[in-house]
């Protein structure tokens, strides 16, 4: 089985207290490496600059992450972030932005699913439309479409999301802080009602409190996870995405796949940077426990 992951590889400077870590990152790394631990073949559609060290590229290749064509930019450096973690706050600063992806990078090579996961609005609508034609399952994490940056590079959220994108996707994951920028309301029930009108098969809503919602056309599933102290959360959402999609293409069961995704995120807590990638057996074992916490209701 094979997953395509579209989005920028990043160079991350991660600060936590007095600790400063330099790490490769971005959805192709966190989502891709997680999918690989599930035994999934991974191909990434990305753009990197000539500044990305060859040892990082070689390390990904050694970990069975393959690159699509045209992945090197000769004009722009690799997208780079400075991530500042504080006990109750996380600030993201954009230092460099690489060029956008191109639909020419997509290939019809038998992928079972594609994950569209921009970090700086780097995925064009043309690539999204082509994805719909090439892959049976299209997953979207819209975070990068909602980001703008002030003059200091600090990340802010905006409401410029193009809802036309929804007609091309099957599953979506949205964080609670992103939801009102997409739906125009802070009311979760009203937001979900609006999203269901786009005929998205699986809507996943995550929150900092630990509660996760899965909304399908017929049912709503709620999972309340005991809150766990997180030291540093870079890549946690991408690990969730990798686990969900890997499980989904294996089982076709979105509820089980959400439990697996939550488990993968949980087992990543307490680690820094790319070291968060979870172990498959640990993830599956914990997912059975999470399944016991599911509460189900019908959509009206």
Structural domain boundaries in the chain: 2-298
| Confidence bin at 68 (pLDDT 50/70/90) | very high
Comparing 14-18, 125-129, 184-188, 277-281, the range with the smallest average pLDDT is: 14-18
Model confidence pLDDT, tens digit, residues 181-205: 999 998 999 999 999 999 999 999 9
Q: What is the mean pLDDT of the chain?
A: 93
Model confidence pLDDT, tens digit, residues 207-218: 888 899 999 988
d(CA 220, CA 267): 25
Comparing 30-34, 87-91, 96-100, 227-231, the range with the smallest average pLDDT is: 227-231
Q: Tokens 């019809």 — which residue?
A: 108
Q: Which residues face 2 on adjacent strands?
A: 41
Model confidence pLDDT, tens digit, residues 106-128: 988 789 999 999 999 999 999 99
pLDDT at position 109: 76
d(CA 300, CA 296): 13
Q: In this structure, which topology does domain 2-298 adopt according to CATH?
A: 3.40.1190
Q: How far is CA 244 from the centre of its chain?
A: 10
pLDDT at position 87: 63
d(CA 35, CA 283): 12
Q: How far is CA 295 from the centre of its chain?
A: 25
Grouping H, G, I as helix, E, B as strand and the rest as coil, residue 11 is strand
pLDDT at position 298: 80
pLDDT at position 8: 98
Contact 200, 140 (CB under 8 A): no
Contact 63, 42 (CB under 8 A): no
pLDDT at position 187: 92
d(CA 57, CA 66): 10
């Amino acid at each position: 089985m094979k997953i395509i992951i579209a989005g920028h590889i990043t160079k991350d400077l991660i600060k936590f207290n007095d600790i400063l870590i330099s790490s490769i990152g971005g959805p192709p790394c966190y989502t891709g490496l997680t999918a690989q631990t599930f035994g999934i073949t991974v191909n990434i559609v990305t753009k990197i600059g000539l500044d990305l060290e060859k040892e990082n590229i070689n390390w990904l290749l050694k970990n069975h992450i393959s690159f699509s064509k045209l992945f090197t930019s000769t004009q722009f450096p690799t997208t780079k972030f400075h991530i500042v973690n504080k006990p109750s706050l996380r600030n993201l600063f954009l230092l460099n932005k690489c060029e956008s992806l191109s639909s020419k990078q997509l290939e019809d090579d038998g992928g079972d699913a594609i994950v569209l996961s921009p970090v700086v609005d780097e995925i064009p609508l043309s690539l999204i439309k082509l994805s719909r034609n090439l892959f049976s399952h299209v997953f979207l994490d819209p975070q990068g479409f909602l980001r703008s940056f002030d003059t200091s590079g600090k990340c802010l959220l905006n409401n410029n999301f193009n809802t036309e994108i929804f007609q091309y996707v099957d599953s979506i994951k949205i964080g609670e802080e992103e939801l009102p920028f997409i739906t125009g309301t802070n009311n979760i029930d009203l937001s979900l009602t609006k999203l269901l009108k786009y005929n998205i098969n699986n809507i996943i809503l995550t929150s900092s409190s630990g509660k996760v919602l899965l909304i399908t056309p017929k049912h709503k599933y709620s999972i309340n996870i005991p809150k766990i102290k997180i030291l540093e959360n870079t890549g946690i959402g991408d690990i969730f995405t990798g686990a969900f999609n890997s499980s989904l293409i294996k089982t076709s069961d979105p509820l089980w796949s959400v439990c697996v995704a939550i488990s993968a995120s949980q087992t990543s807590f307490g680690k820094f940077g790319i070291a968060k990638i979870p172990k498959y057996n640990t993830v599956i074992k914990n997912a059975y426990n999470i399944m016991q916490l599911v509460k189900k209701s019908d959509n009206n």
